[in-house]
């Protein structure tokens, strides 16, 4: 049996726990004037508010809702305590996100008397370690069913699916509940009369392969109650990213470049802190009409330097149409690590030296020096010239607005490598 532990409205519950004035009230974490809801309390969900919903829409649905700025350090602190509790109960724990994890429960019944005893111990220990937070727990023979089960009796509930009950459970399970089935896939399946998981068993693997490709075959496996994935205690990071919803929609290329540079700085520092490098840089843009695009570039050599990430992201940005104003912009790095054989070949093709690798080494040397300075003297100790000017321009424009004057056009973007300490 596999156990899935999912914290209840985690961010919002933390805010309600830390601030008694928020208890029992509709709380939405995130937002801002143009942002989205990160998490909504159950009081807010009754109004139809949910995570990833635009803040404007959430306010319209729940006018009395209270928006709270996220405190990620606090959430990480409590997440660490939760994972410690889980690891004290089982040697095999896989953290799926900041507020959920899987446990392999094999053999643990002997320690806790039964699977229900293990689940009871987990919930009590989490409540004690966090100061009162609740979680919902699902248990099932396979991973995807355990995740579905944790949602059955939310919040603060338990659902254990015994092996002998799997077929009956699948017979009434809406396909939309299966992880990976979104609205479009559900609609496509509905055209063939597939509305619950057991309906899929009427069709052959060839049917699913032809119409839906490999994801269709995986879906058929789920309909049979199969999931070969085990609980993996160490999960390798797949990507690192940063994005921002802008205060105003814009087509100002210079401004978007500066924001990209700031994102590249954040992503680069996280990667360097984790000793990771990636070969694929992805640009994400959401326009004012909420249409969204992503563009990716795979590099010859892996990067973690701010300049390496920014250079690739800027190329992608300059190839994108700005006929529509931009609402959100972000950058991500993935495809971590380059195969040793590829890097060796790259070096040999360049006479034993790879210009890409050499340039990245120089950039990384500079970035590590800046990281060390910030670590020792604080974040404000040193800043790249473009970001320092961006901050200064923002202050000057704010002062002009307060005095009823129009802001001046933004300054030309300097070389992103220039520094100001």
Contact of 37 with 173, CB cutoff 8 Å? no
CA gap 268, 258 in Å, rounded: 15
- E-strand ranges in 190-272 read 239-250
Paired with 7 in beta bridges are: 135
Compute, in degrees rounded to 10, the torsion defined by CA atoms 263, 266, 270, 271: 50
* Cβ atoms 297, 280 nearer than 8 A: yes
In whole angstroms, give the CA distance from residue 236 to residue 92. Answer: 15
95 torsion bin: left (phi>0), alpha (psi -120 to 50), beta (else): beta
- For residue 19, count other CB atoms closer than 10 A to its CB: 13
Mode of pairing for the β-strands spanning 93-97 and 100-104? antiparallel
Report the distance separating Cα 200 and Cα 222, nearest Å: 10
What span, in angstroms and rounded, lies between the C-alpha atoms of 338 and 278?
8
Task: Give the active site residue among 100, 240, 265, 356.
Answer: 100
In the numeric block, the tokens 């052959």 are attached to 204
Token pair for 289: 């009409």
Please report where in the chains the tokens 């879906």 appear, as a residue.
219
Query: In whole angstroms, what is the distance from residue 208 CA to residue 219 CA?
Result: 8
Q: Is 300 a catalytic residue?
A: no
- Active-site residue list: 100
């Amino acid at each position: 049996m596999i156990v899935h532990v999912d914290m209840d409205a985690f961010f919002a519950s933390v805010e309600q726990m830390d601030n008694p004035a928020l208890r029992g009230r509709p709380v939405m974490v995130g937002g801002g004037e143009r942002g989205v809801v990160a998490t909504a309390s159950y009081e807010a969900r009754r109004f139809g508010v949910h995570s990833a919903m635009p803040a404007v829409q959430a306010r319209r649905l729940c006018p009395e809702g209270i928006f709270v700025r996220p405190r990620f350090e606090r959430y990480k602190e409590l997440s660490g305590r939760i994972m410690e509790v889980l690891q004290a109960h089982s040697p095999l724990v896989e953290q799926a996100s900041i507020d959920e994890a899987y446990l392999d429960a094999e053999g643990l019944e002997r320690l806790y008397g039964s699977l229900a005893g293990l689940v009871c111990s987990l919930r009590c220990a989490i409540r004690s370690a966090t100061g009162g937070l609740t979680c919902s727990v699902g248990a099932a023979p396979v991973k995807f069913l355990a995740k579905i089960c944790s949602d059955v009796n939310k919040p603060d509930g338990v659902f254990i699916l015994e092996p002998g009950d799997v077929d009956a459970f699948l017979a009434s399970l809406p396909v939309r509940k299966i992880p990976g089935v979104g609205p479009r896939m559900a609609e496509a399946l509905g055209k063939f009369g597939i509305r619950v998981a057991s309906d899929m068993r009427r069709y052959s693997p060839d049917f699913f392969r032809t119409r839906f490709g490999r994801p269709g075959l995986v879906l058929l496996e789920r309909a049979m109650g199969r999931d070969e994935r085990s609980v993996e205690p160490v999960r390798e990071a797949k990507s690192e990213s940063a994005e921002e919803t802008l205060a105003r929609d814009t087509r100002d290329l210079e401004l978007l470049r500066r924001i990209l540079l700031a994102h590249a700085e954040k992503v680069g520092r996280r990667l360097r802190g984790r000793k990771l490098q990636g070969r694929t840089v992805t640009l994400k843009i959401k326009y004012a009409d909420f249409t969204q695009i992503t563009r990716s570039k795979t590099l010859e050599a892996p990067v973690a330097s701010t300049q390496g990430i920014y250079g690739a992201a800027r190329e992608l940005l300059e190839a994108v149409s700005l006929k529509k104003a931009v609402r959100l912009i972000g950058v991500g790095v993935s495809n971590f690590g380059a195969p040793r054989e590829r890097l060796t070949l790259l070096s040999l093709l360049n006479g034993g030296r790879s210009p890409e690798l050499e340039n990245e080494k120089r950039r990384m040397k500079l970035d590590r020096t800046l990281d060390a300075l910030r670590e020792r003297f604080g974040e404000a100790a040193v800043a790249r010239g473009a970001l320092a000017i961006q901050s200064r321009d923002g202050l000057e424009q704010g002062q002009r607005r307060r005095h009823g004057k129009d802001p001046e056009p933004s300054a030309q973007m300097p070389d992103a490598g220039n520094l100001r300490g």
